[in-house]
């Protein structure tokens, strides 16, 4: 999830663990704990694109990380804070660390919660930014901040925020199941033979959902809104994996295929060979659009060394997409 949401969750968890004893300092340290796992983004400063993608939401988002660093952070804080309970501080950091990847597990990218096992937990039921999750949570957290640390209202407000936000996460799983069922029915009605379906919510909402459907030589991309009145339609994107040629055997290409879980197409222009990760959709809702959210140019030098370079995204495309999505949410 986005940084603000993780800060709010961490602060609420910190309050639940130690708020009664240290007041708003519990929120402060909880917010810090909720931020620390995302420091893995700085790997981009020292590694190549593929390695950065592999590291993201890896070790720092694991239970092992929480077990190792929670006691360390708890010890450091207990050394200089007036409240000297090492166990209490360690417990705060543990829950601040571990709830971060648990929340991220509901997004499309997922988390390697069980690192070093190479398995990402990804429920794909909520977008990385979702106002319906974040705003109510933030309101109750602010109400909590202005109560006395031993006040019953303080615990009530904080617990209410945690309950509402957690309930919404459970609701997103139900909404995902409903959307999946609609896509499955549409494929059956249209006599489309497919291998697998991958569904996820559109940006900022759980009303509009998108799906990738794998067939023998192509992927079908479609949208479904709970306000739809017409049948679901699908756009066809050829896999074009053959365009890789001998590059398919390159180590970094194989690693990118693994990262994308096999959901990728290859697109060739006059001067570029592009690797498109389908899991995060397009920056356009125009039929046949090729500007995928995560698109990488494949570069190979004379020695056969392969590099992948992420393509820059235009703010104008993002703005247009928001307008198109809002129109599509209202139904087809």
Burial of 230 (0-12, 13-18, 19+ CB in 10 A): exposed
Query: What are the structural domain ranges in the chain?
Result: 3-173, 190-332
Reported as a single tens digit per residue, the pLDDT across 145-160 is 999 999 999 999 999 9
pLDDT class of 312 with cuts at 50, 70, 90:
confident
320 versus 184: the higher-pLDDT residue is 184
Q: How many CB atoms lie within 10 A of CB 298?
A: 21
Are 73 and 96 in contact by the 8 Å Cβ rule? The answer is no
CA atoms within 13 A on the CB side of 257: 13
Reported as a single tens digit per residue, the pLDDT across 176-192 is 999 999 999 999 999 99
Record the pTM: 0.93
Please compute the mean of the pLDDT values over residues 214-239 and round it to a whole number. 96
- Alpha carbon of 226 to those of 143, 180, 235, 326: distances in Å? 33, 12, 19, 13
Please compute the mean of the pLDDT values over residues 197-201 and round it to a whole number. 97
Q: Which residue, 188, 159, 306, is CA-closest to 245? A: 306
Reported as a single tens digit per residue, the pLDDT across 23-32 is 999 999 999 9
User: Tokens 């125009």 identify what position?
Assistant: 286
pLDDT class of 212 with cuts at 50, 70, 90:
very high
**What is the reported pLDDT for 285?**
82
């Amino acid at each position: 999830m986005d940084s603000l949401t993780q800060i709010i969750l961490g602060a609420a968890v910190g309050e639940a663990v130690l708020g009664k004893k240290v007041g708003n300092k519990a929120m402060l340290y909880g917010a810090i704990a909720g931020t620390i796992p995302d420091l893995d983004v700085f790997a981009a400063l020292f590694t190549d694109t593929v390695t950065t993608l592999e590291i993201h939401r890896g070790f720092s988002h694991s239970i092992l990380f929480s077990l190792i660093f929670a006691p360390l952070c708890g010890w450091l804080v207990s050394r200089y804070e007036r409240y000297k309970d090492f166990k209490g501080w360690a417990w705060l950091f543990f829950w601040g660390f571990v709830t971060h990847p648990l929340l991220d597990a509901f997004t499309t990218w997922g988390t390697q919660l069980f690192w070093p096992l190479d398995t990402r937990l990804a429920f794909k039921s909520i977008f990385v930014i979702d106002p319906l999750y974040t705003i109510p949570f933030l309101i109750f957290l602010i109400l909590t901040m202005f109560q006395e640390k031993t006040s019953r209202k303080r615990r009530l407000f904080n617990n209410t925020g945690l309950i509402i936000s957690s309930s919404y996460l459970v609701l997103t799983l139900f909404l995902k199941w409903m959307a999946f069922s609609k896509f499955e029915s549409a494929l059956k009605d249209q006599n489309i033979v497919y291998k697998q379906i991958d569904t996820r919510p559109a940006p900022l909402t759980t009303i509009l959902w998108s799906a990738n459907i794998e067939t023998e030589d192509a992927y079908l991309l479609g949208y479904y809104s709970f306000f739809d009145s017409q049948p679901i339609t699908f756009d066809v994107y050829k896999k074009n994996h053959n365009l890789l040629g001998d590059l398919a055997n390159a180590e970094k290409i194989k690693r990118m295929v693994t990262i994308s879980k096999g959901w990728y197409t290859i697109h060739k222009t006059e001067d570029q060979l592009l690797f498109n990760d389908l899991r995060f959709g397009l920056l356009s809702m125009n039929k046949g659009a090729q500007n995928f959210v995560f698109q990488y140019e494949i570069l190979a030098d004379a020695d056969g060394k392969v590099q992948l370079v992420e393509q820059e995204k235009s703010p104008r495309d993002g703005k247009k997409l928001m307008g198109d999505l809002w129109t599509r949410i209202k139904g087809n």
